[in-house]
Structure 1
Amino acid sequence: MTYKPKSEFLHVMVSRGYYNDCSDLEGLDEMMMAGVVPTYIGYDATAQSLHVGHLLNIMMLRWLQNTGHQPITLMGGGTTKVGDPSFRSDERPLLDAAQIDANIAGMKDVFAKYLTYGDGPTDALMLNNAEWLDDLNYLDFLRDIGRHFSVNRMLSFDSVKSRLDREQSLSFLEFNYMILQAYDFLELHRRYNCGLQMGGSDQWGNILNGVDLTRRVLGDTVHAFTTPLLTTSDGKKMGKSAGGAVWLNADLLSPYDFWQFWRNSTDADVGRFLKLYTELPLEECERLGALEGSEINDAKITLANEVTKLCHGAEAAASAEKTAREVFEKGGTGDDLPTLTLAPGDFSDAGMSMVQIFVKSGLVASGKEAKRLIAEGGAKLNDEPVTNAGQMVTADMFTEPQKLSAGKKRHALVRTGA
């Protein structure tokens, strides 16, 4: 890229690795130099929490606010009823209004940790597109908005084309999603003077639709900005771990497990993740990312602490690090480890198998996985190998918490309670 942004926000985006594409980088730069730019990212309410895969664009909104602009978190109360088909092989399950509202409530808790909401010129706004989508008149919408969309062009977008090329069904409901997303941008510009939509590179076509629709309907210029589709250095999608999604809500994933996810980053990812997911100075991110040997572990701890501070607070980060040191360096159990509490009635007369214990703890997803872990020597109880998948244990063995380990990095406590 030859153009060097002058505005503080775009300078941060480019220098820290957030930039993938922009509809008009120089034009957006000029707009951001001229004053506050309300900017939105949309979030469909498909789950009760956001996960690490969303964290990249949440950090973008945080940087946006810190550099003097206004973030808009747009909750998809309306579009969730349709479902984004982008790069999916099947249709999303349709959720009812009550489930959508419950999911939005869970997601709001995350945003409040990263953004300041209020009535000031750079205070964040939280909006719901159901406000303008729920009561649309279908015929008026087709006449006023639908006429600006070419089906030929819509069919050419990768998100649609990939489904059709694989001869996988794409419902008319899903096909409408890109029109509704474009309409969101138009409405946000009309109501709140929103000048920019940001998202991942998989949303590029959808965002450009909104840029084009706003120009056609109002004659105004707005902008699109996308980030790279982020994967780990070994090619895995960000936001996934051996135990499933890495949720940002503490009631779905403990702060300790969240901390461990970042502590377990591969060496090659540390420098890049520090730039994207922390607010440490760029020079410090580069210094830490360049460390080698045992020193890179210190950088990983810094990464885990900084990301966990933003998501769960400084106390949770310090507690997670303390627990990790007790578990790994001192051979202890650590107070913050995820805990499975079993009732005496959960045990049969013969007890409970170690396979069941591992599954109930959440360290493995199935009995088959537990048996494989045991066969490969990765299962331990209080740091002693579990060698017999059929081994039975009784309730009285867990009156004091016992440490369960799956490999070197995943641990849990098991105890019995009333």
Structure 2
Amino acid sequence: MTASNERSEILAAQRNDDSFSTLFEELEWRGLVHVSTDAEALSNLLEGESFTYYCGFDPTAPSLHLGNLVQLLLLRRIQLKGHKPLGLVGGSTGLIGDPRPTAERTLNSRETVAEWVGKLQAQVTRFLSTEGENSVRIVNNLDWTAPLSAIDFLREVGKHFRVGTMLKKDAVAARLNSDEGISYTEFSYQILQGFDFLELYRQYDCKLQSGGSDQWGNLTSGTDLIRKVEGVSAHAIGTPLITNSDGTKFGKSEGNAIWLDAEMCSPYAFYQFWLNQADADVIDRLKVFTFMSRAEIEDYARQVEEEPFRRAAQKRLALEVTTLVHGAAATQGAIDASAALFGQGELSGLDAATLAAALSELPTATGAEGSSVAQLLVDTELVKGLGEARRAIAQGGVYVNNAKVEADDAVLAAGDLLHGRYAVLRRGKKTLAGVVAA
């Protein structure tokens, strides 16, 4: 099956849950509405005739991440209701970047931003249907901002914004109170995003914008501008920022975002991220990141309560989201790698890329044919010293590629280096490390 056909099958299988009386009710149950414009009017809009709506994605990196996935799935749920999505990739706003809480962004070159625009456009398209009367349309705000002169922009758009209101926006206020302050460039970002909504309203009769709740000030800059200029009401949905039950930011691993691009976050690492979700968080993740029904999710909630040791909900979550993002084959490869690493499958059956990705998540040491296994145990910090390494081997608790090491003077043989480069060390049942040939 081609990637295109698989993607079509994944999209075709997605459904909204008809156990809810309205889509807005389902969105609230899934925890996707932190703040919105008039809830009753918005619910009626979603239940009415087909209309156009959008979400913007700035090319500040060469890939989207899990926070963006929340928006993509919200767009898809609304598309399944029959409405028409616009995926805006910000070729102009990406040249500036929305204000971060603490410091100015480093501005990327025009060439870099243009390259990233293309990559993000392709990613957005993968999660939304490109078929039918409500197929996704990809737009770039550089198309309508580039032709404007600074004078035209100030006269036609800037005059509708009040500085006092702009200063009250959370992102701006946070920066004003920081040591870094805020430049006029980033201060102006909310005007550009507001102008996007106005332009999309004019071109496509776009009536709704979604985004993270931390973007609420930028979202309402658009609804306010449309009301002032066109005299009509537009809508916005702010999704909650997804956090873990302990309050830490979701989607961060040692300071790095969980990217949707397989080259930036391997399918194996992606799968493991979901598999390791805490019991306290996993049901909320199923609600947000899968199209599973309310009945299915409530059954998994019961299993988490009654049989948490089975981790059934985590396994289903990892399967669903990894398949959604990377496809069935890559997901199966991640599952096979997980099993093989812990002695439940053949490591030799893993392709080099999957094995390399799996080992990148483990402590590793450099080794070669003839390297002492005991020394490699020390080098990978599976043990504290050679004496402990020899005792572990003597007790029968050390494995190379799932084969028990029998002698304390054992060395790596040529055949131990899978794909000529990799070996897996295991101490006991669950403690793993990798060996990579120089």
TM-score range relative to shorter protein: 0.7 to 0.9
CA distance in 2, matches of 1:151, 1:201: 22
Contact between 2:54 and 2:87, CA under 8 Å: does it hold in 1? yes
Question: For residue 345 of structure 1, what is the aligned residue in structure 2?
Answer: none
Range 199-208 or range 131-140, more displaced: 131-140
Contact between 2:23 and 2:47, CA under 8 Å: does it hold in 1? no
The 5 Å alignment of 1:229-240 reads 229-240=241-252
Provide Cα deviations, 1:2-43, integer angstroms capped at 9, x if missing partner: xxxx87431221121111111111112222222112111111
Give the number of aligned pairs.
378
The sequence identity of aligned pairs, in percent, is: 38
Question: For residue 327 of structure 1, what is the aligned residue in structure 2?
Answer: 341
Provide Cα deviations, 1:163-219, integer angstroms capped at 9, x if missing partner: 111232200111110000000000000001110000111011111110010011111
CA distance in 1, matches of 2:36, 2:184: 29
CA distance in 2, matches of 1:381, 1:133: 61
CA distance in 1, matches of 2:346, 2:431: 14
CA distance in 2, matches of 1:201, 1:409: 40
* 2:43 is equivalent to residue 26 of structure 1: no
* 2:300 is equivalent to residue 288 of structure 1: yes
Change (3 A) 1:27 1:295: same
Question: For residue 261 of structure 1, what is the aligned residue in structure 2?
Answer: 273
Question: For residue 339 of structure 1, what is the aligned residue in structure 2?
Answer: 356
The 5 Å alignment of 1:201-216 reads 201-216=213-228
- Structure 1: which amino acid aligns with 2:337? T
Shift of 1:316: 2.1
CA distance in 2, matches of 1:122, 1:211: 23
Shift of 1:243: 7.5
Contact between 2:268 and 2:357, CA under 8 Å: does it hold in 1? no
Other structure's SS at 2:241 match: coil
Contact between 1:381 and 1:402, CA under 8 Å: does it hold in 2? no
**TM-score, normalised on structure 2?**
0.78
Provide Cα deviations, 1:139-164, integer angstroms capped at 9, x if missing partner: 12212211111111111111111111
Bigger radius of gyration among the two? 2
- Pick one of 279, 293, 297 that aligns with 2:291: 279
Change (3 A) 1:395 1:90: farther
- Pick one of 94, 101, 106 that aligns with 2:114: 101
**TM-score, normalised on structure 1?**
0.81
CA distance in 1, matches of 2:366, 2:136: 45
Question: For residue 23 of structure 2, what is the aligned residue in structure 1?
Answer: 9
The 5 Å alignment of 1:301-320 reads 301-320=315-334
Contact between 1:129 and 1:184, CA under 8 Å: does it hold in 2? yes
Contact between 1:339 and 1:412, CA under 8 Å: does it hold in 2? no
Change (3 A) 1:168 1:179: same
CA distance in 2, matches of 1:184, 1:375: 59
- Pick one of 104, 108, 122 that aligns with 1:91: 104
Change (3 A) 1:209 1:304: same
Provide Cα deviations, 1:364-418, integer angstroms capped at 9, x if missing partner: xxxxxx98887699xx98489xxxxxxxx9996733630267999897865559x
CA distance in 2, matches of 1:213, 1:26: 22
Which stretches in structure 1 are left out of the alignment for 5+ residues? 1-5, 342-353, 359-369, 385-392
Shift of 1:267: 0.9
The 5 Å alignment of 1:16-415 reads 16-85=30-99, 87-118=100-131, 120-242=132-254, 244-292=256-304, 293-328=307-342, 330=344, 333=347, 335=350, 337-339=354-356, 357=366, 382=400, 398=417, 399=420, 401-403=422-424, 414=435
Contact between 2:31 and 2:288, CA under 8 Å: does it hold in 1? yes
Contact between 1:181 and 1:207, CA under 8 Å: does it hold in 2? yes
CA distance in 1, matches of 2:35, 2:272: 32
CA distance in 1, matches of 2:141, 2:60: 14
CA distance in 2, matches of 1:177, 1:265: 35
Shift of 1:62: 1.2
Change (3 A) 1:36 1:162: same
Other structure's SS at 1:265 match: coil
Range 260-269 or range 97-106, more displaced: 97-106
Shift of 1:123: 0.6
Contact between 2:37 and 2:237, CA under 8 Å: does it hold in 1? yes
CA distance in 1, matches of 2:292, 2:39: 25
Contact between 2:210 and 2:238, CA under 8 Å: does it hold in 1? yes
Q: Which runs of 4+ in 1 moved over 4 A?
A: 370-377, 393-397, 404-417
Question: For residue 391 of structure 2, what is the aligned residue in structure 1?
Answer: none
Shift of 1:121: 3.0
Other structure's SS at 1:195 match: strand
Shift of 1:108: 2.8
Contact between 1:38 and 1:193, CA under 8 Å: does it hold in 2? yes
CA distance in 1, matches of 2:428, 2:173: 42
Which stretches in structure 2 are left out of the alignment for 5+ residues? 1-19, 368-378, 389-397, 403-410
- Structure 1: which amino acid aligns with 2:303? L
Shift of 1:357: 3.9
Provide Cα deviations, 1:278-316, integer angstroms capped at 9, x if missing partner: 111112112213324445412211110011111111222
Question: For residue 393 of structure 2, what is the aligned residue in structure 1?
Answer: none
CA RMSD of aligned residues (A): 3.2
Provide Cα deviations, 1:62-111, integer angstroms capped at 9, x if missing partner: 111112111111001001111100x4211111111211122122223322
